[in-house]
């Protein structure tokens, strides 16, 4: 026991010496008797640690708009208008009358029944649209830890993220929460893959993190890009944390049986909506995304003429 304690003290002394040599003055980490770092309760941490405020992503907004994504600028586009309509319903669920009946109403998971139905495209567009709100902030979390695609969709390089935090490799969540050149948008990447990703996402550390996101900032929406629901355990785990789910359905491809299986894997107490993607008809417009919703009453509204040129995950 004494030898173990001595090792822990030596490790702490080494950290302190390295920080002094680097000229830093950050709070010293704590170690247990086995020399492992102790993670502090995230609710005790400062709002925006000074050492992390300069970490940011530069998103090429012009390139993103050319690819058919929602514009955060002054130009009005058809897809921007459609996502305005979709987000209004989600924001109403998050902060309106229904919010009192939902657990974590401002946590929105975006998923699909099967891969390549457009869920990441939808998650990014929702986040970009919500970021244009005057009194709301949005955090986009890539929790598709099996096939991360959020950063690639945004034209960004992969970085450490959620998995590093849950593994304890990253000490503070602020180390992997990146600012962007979109003022009200923050991003947490998925990070590296891990064979225990299901267990990590089901951990108390993840539960504490979601609780932090849900309660600390009254004006924050959290959009979580999750894996497809069928055959993947991670999405079912994440469904226990979110108050709302947006299920992306590909017109002409998604099978009704798959959609039913996907909904069965969601928390029955969630507010669940559908975005119909990749739908085309013969109208003289460019087409748009349809959104239908059913909440606690489980009554489905018919989507209004859903249409959109093809977009993939």
Question: 6-60: per-residue pLDDT in tens?
Answer: 655 666 666 566 555 554 434 444 555 544 445 544 433 434 443 334 588 999 9
Residue 302, both tokens: 């018919």
Q: Helix, strand, or coil here: 52?
A: helix
Close Cβ partners of 298 (under 8 Å, ≥ 6 residues apart):
none
Q: In what order do the strands lie in the sheet with 220-225?
A: 56-57, 178-180, 185-188, 137-142, 220-225, 107-112, 244-250, 271-277, 290-294
Q: Tens digit of pLDDT for each residue in 89-129?
A: 999 999 998 899 999 999 999 999 999 889 999 999 999 99
CB–CB of 283/152 below 8 Å? no
Q: Tens digit of pLDDT for each residue in 124-179?
A: 999 999 999 999 999 999 999 999 999 999 999 999 999 999 999 988 999 999 99
Strand pairing of 185-188 and 137-142?
parallel
Model pTM score: 0.76
* Helices of type H across the chain: 2-22, 61-66, 78-95, 119-130, 150-153, 162-167, 197-201, 204-216, 233-239, 256-264
CB–CB of 87/192 below 8 Å? no
Mean pLDDT for the stretch of residues 249-259 = 84
Q: Helix, strand, or coil here: 81?
A: helix
% of the chain at pLDDT higher than 70: 71
Residue 200, both tokens: 């990590």
Q: What share of the chain is helix, strand, coil (3-state, %, to 5)?
A: 35, 15, 45
How much is the pLDDT for 279? Answer: 54
CA–CA dist 278, 253 (Å, integer):
9
Angle between helices 78-95 and 119-130 (to 10 degrees): 80
How much is the pLDDT for 25? Answer: 39
């Amino acid at each position: 026991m004494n030898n173990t304690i001595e090792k822990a003290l030596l490790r702490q002394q080494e950290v302190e010496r390295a920080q002094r040599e680097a000229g830093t003055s950050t709070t010293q980490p704590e170690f247990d008797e086995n020399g492992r770092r102790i993670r502090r309760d995230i609710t005790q941490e400062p709002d925006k640690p000074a050492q992390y405020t300069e970490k940011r992503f530069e998103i090429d907004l012009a390139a993103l708009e050319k690819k058919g994504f929602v514009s955060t600028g002054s130009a009005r586009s058809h897809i921007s208008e459609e996502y305005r309509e979709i987000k209004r319903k989600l924001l109403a669920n998050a902060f309106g009358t229904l919010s009192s009946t939902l657990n974590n109403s401002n946590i929105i998971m975006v998923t699909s029944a099967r891969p390549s139905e457009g869920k990441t495209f939808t998650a990014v567009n929702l986040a970009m649209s919500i970021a244009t709100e005057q009194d709301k902030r949005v955090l986009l979390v890539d929790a598709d830890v099996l096939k991360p695609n959020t950063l690639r969709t945004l034209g960004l390089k992969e970085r450490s993220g959620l998995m590093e935090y849950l593994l304890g490799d990253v000490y503070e969540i602020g180390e992997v929460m990146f600012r962007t050149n979109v003022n009200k948008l923050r991003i947490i990447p998925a990070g590296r893959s891990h064979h225990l990703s299901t267990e990590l996402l089901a951990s108390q550390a993840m539960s504490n993190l979601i609780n932090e996101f849900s309660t600390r900032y009254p004006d924050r929406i959290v959009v979580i890009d999750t894996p497809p629901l069928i055959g993947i355990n991670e999405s079912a785990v994440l469904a226990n944390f979110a108050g709302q789910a947006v299920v992306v359905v590909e017109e002409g491809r998604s099978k009704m049986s798959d959609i039913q299986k996907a909904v069965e894997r969601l928390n029955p107490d969630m507010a669940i909506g559908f975005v119909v993607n990749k739908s085309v008809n013969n109208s003289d417009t460019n087409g748009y995304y349809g959104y239908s919703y059913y909440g606690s009453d489980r009554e489905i509204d018919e989507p209004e003429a859903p249409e959109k040129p093809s977009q993939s995950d």
